[in-house]
């Protein structure tokens, strides 16, 4: 049995989790810095680093307490090596390497996006290679053919804004606080279907173009023009629900259709979604409905594994270690 302590500190969440190769997730804890960054309308890197320093040790202690274990019960420590904010990453990496040195256990560096990509496997062992993987977060929008552990062929990606960014920037235009994605999604949940159908539809960028690349900056601009024309005083009233739902529908249409097209073209019968936007309930419902119509199985991470978290770091590290233990021996 291998017990891996996972550490995630790439952006504005400090995550710690203890994952066992035999027993699954033993405990996890997460500290979100959203309240620290909200007044600035986005993540302030230096504040993020300092906040990680404050929280990492208490989080490790709380995870070990929850699991009823001691530091000496840990067999390996895994950390997010990138991509992410350099200062923030450094906190997790320094902590993990110090712990590895002190306990004489391996330190396993994990790629943040690979961890997101495999997050759906945490609860669903039925998700098997090869599968089509849609990764939609605040910084990335990519479609992969996941062929085997460590082997991911990029099928397409965004040429400009990420999906999460499209949600967040449009939400900002409507005066919602950072990060606006989940707030916008909540507003959309109670939209008036009839009113939405009477609104001019927002564009579905690149949906009818060949290939699997995406573009979302034009969509954001078209919402901006729509708002300037129809609500010059920003007095959206209850219309904010319908605008949010229409934008969400445009985004969800594009990413779900492209994922299904990619799976069909590559003759793959499973799709997984991951990253913060995979928590979006409209995406989860629509993609699962449309995928099943095509005989494709959809795998979605549990909501707590969609956003940044350390369970996915510990999980991937345990797979990497098991596949090539010799890589982690000094």
Binding residues for Zn ion, rule: CB under 5 A, are 137, 308
Neighbours of 128 (CB within 10 A): 12
Which two three-digit tokens encode residue 189?
């949940």
If one asks whether residue 300 binds ligand KG4 (CB under 6 A), the answer comes out as no
Residue pair 210/155 in contact by the 8 Å Cβ criterion: no
* Shortest distance (Å) from residue 322 CB to ligand KG4: 25
Binding string, residues 141-180; x marks residues near ligand KG4 by CB under 6 A:
-----------------------x--xx----------x-
Chain residues 208-247 in contact with ligand KG4, contact rule CB under 6 A: none
Residue pair 315/19 in contact by the 8 Å Cβ criterion: yes
Among 106, 156, 276, 301, binds ligand KG4 (CB under 6 A): 276
Name 141's Cβ contacts closer than 8 Å, sequence gap at least 6.
135, 157, 158, 162, 163, 164, 214, 216, 255
* Shortest distance (Å) from residue 91 CB to ligand KG4: 16
Q: Specify the residue, 10 or 21, whose C-beta has the smaller distance to ligand KG4.
A: 10
Q: Specify the residue, 114 or 145, whose C-beta has the smaller distance to Zn ion.
A: 114
Name 35's Cβ contacts closer than 8 Å, sequence gap at least 6.
none
Binding string, residues 31-70; x marks residues near ligand KG4 by CB under 6 A:
----------------------------------------
33 binds, among ligand KG4, Zn ion, none (CB under 5 to 8 A by kind): none
Chain residues 179-198 in contact with ligand KG4, contact rule CB under 6 A: 179, 181-182, 185
Q: Specify the residue, 67 or 117, whose C-beta has the smaller distance to ligand KG4.
A: 117
Calpha distance 196→199 (Å, rounded): 5
Calpha distance 68→53 (Å, rounded): 24
Q: Specify the residue, 34 or 323, whose C-beta has the smaller distance to ligand KG4.
A: 34
Helices (H), ranges, the chain: 34-38, 45-67, 86-103, 112-117, 163-173, 180-189, 193-198, 217-230, 239-265, 281-293, 311-323
Residue pair 27/16 in contact by the 8 Å Cβ criterion: no
185 binds, among ligand KG4, Zn ion, none (CB under 5 to 8 A by kind): ligand KG4
Which two three-digit tokens encode residue 327?
């890589």
Contacting positions for ligand KG4 (CB under 6 A): 11, 137-139, 164, 167-168, 179, 181-182, 185, 275-277, 279-280, 307-308
């Amino acid at each position: 049995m291998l017990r891996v302590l996972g550490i995630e500190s790439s952006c504005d969440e400090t995550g710690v989790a203890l994952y066992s190769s035999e027993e699954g997730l033993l405990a996890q804890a997460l500290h979100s810095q959203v309240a620290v960054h909200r007044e600035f309308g986005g993540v302030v890197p230096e504040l993020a680093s300092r906040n990680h320093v404050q929280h990492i040790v208490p989080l490790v202690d709380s995870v070990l307490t929850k699991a009823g274990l001691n530091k000496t019960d840990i067999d390996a420590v895994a950390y997010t090596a990138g991509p992410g904010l350099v200062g923030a990453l450094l906190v997790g990496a320094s902590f993990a390497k110090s712990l590895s040195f002190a306990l004489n256990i391996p330190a396993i560096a994990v790629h943040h996006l690979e961890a997101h990509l495999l997050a759906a496997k945490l609860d669903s062992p039925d998700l098997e290679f090869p599968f089509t993987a849609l990764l939609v977060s605040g910084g990335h929008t990519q479609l992969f053919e996941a062929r085997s552990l460590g082997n991911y062929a990029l099928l397409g990606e965004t040429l400009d804004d990420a999906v999460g960014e499209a949600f967040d920037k449009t939400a900002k235009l409507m005066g919602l606080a950072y990060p606006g994605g989940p707030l916008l999604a909540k507003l959309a949940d109670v939209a008036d279907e009839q009113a939405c159908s009477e609104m001019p539809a927002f564009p579905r960028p690149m949906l009818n173009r060949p290939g699997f690349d995406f573009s979302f900056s034009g969509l954001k601009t078209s919402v901006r023009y729509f708002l300037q024309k129809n609500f010059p005083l920003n007095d959206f009233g209850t219309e904010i629900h319908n605008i949010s739902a229409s934008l969400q529908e445009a985004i969800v249409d594009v990413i779900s259709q492209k994922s299904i097209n990619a799976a069909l073209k590559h003759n793959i019968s499973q799709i997984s979604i991951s990253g913060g936007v995979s928590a979006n309930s409209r995406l989860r419902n629509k993609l699962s409905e449309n995928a099943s119509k095509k005989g494709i199985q959809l795998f979605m991470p549990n909501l707590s594994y969609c956003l940044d978290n350390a369970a996915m770091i510990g999980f991937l590290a345990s797979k990497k270690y098991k596949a090539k233990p010799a890589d982690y021996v000094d």
